[in-house]
Amino acid sequence: MDEAALIAASRTSPDAFALLYDRTQPAVYRFAYSLAGNHTGAEDLTSECYRRALANLHRYEHRGKPFEAWLFTIVRNLARDRGRRRGREVPLLDHDEAVETPVTFAIEREERQVVVRTAVRRLPDVQRRVVVLRFGHEWSVRQVADEMGKSEAAVKQLTYRAVNRLREILVEAGYEHDG
């Protein structure tokens, strides 16, 4: 089931929401951990994130970004609120001025990873496999060629086409490379 259909089903079906949770929880937990800095805090942020997501799912609107991005926003807001309650501000990206801190780098990195993973899922199977092996597993062209039973030239061509297609998908989704 695609993400949009799963979200729609989750509004009325606990089983569908459980599937949505299973698909997104690992990334949400990693992001929460990057903000909390410990297991207990990450579990608390993740748990509260899904409680709020379920309570507000009727308000969610798909705007071309992955559902995980909405969940990351919830976690970010929870972490910021938690920091304020403890008497310290958790530095986050401001919409007018980017504040470069380890937290903002973690947020940006996690959001980029979600966007790229979503784009990679849209690639044709052979291109997706080349991208995962070359960049996900950091295999050499020779290793990928051996694994796939292709020539090195064919792997280079597949990689070139896959990267160009990824660029197109990201531009379509509103993510353009700045440099």
CATH number of domain containing 37? 1.10.1740.10
- Asked if residue 90 and residue 28 are part of one domain, the reply reads yes
End-to-end, the C-alpha distance of the chain in Å comes to 35
Residue 61's domain comprises 3-121
pLDDT-derived band at 53, boundaries 50, 70, 90: very high
- Asked if residue 141 and residue 70 are part of one domain, the reply reads no
The candidate with the shortest Cα–Cα distance to 11, out of 59, 44, 76, is: 59
pLDDT (0 to 100) of residue 96: 36
Pairwise CA distance, residues 144 & 129, whole Å: 9
* Of the residues 93, 121, 149, the one at which a domain ends: 121
pTM of this structure = 0.51
Mean pLDDT value across the chain = 81
- Asked if residue 172 and residue 150 are part of one domain, the reply reads yes
**Which tens digit of pLDDT belongs to each residue from 1-39?**
788 888 899 899 889 999 999 999 998 888 888 888 788
- Asked if residue 31 and residue 77 are part of one domain, the reply reads yes
- Asked if residue 95 and residue 84 are part of one domain, the reply reads yes
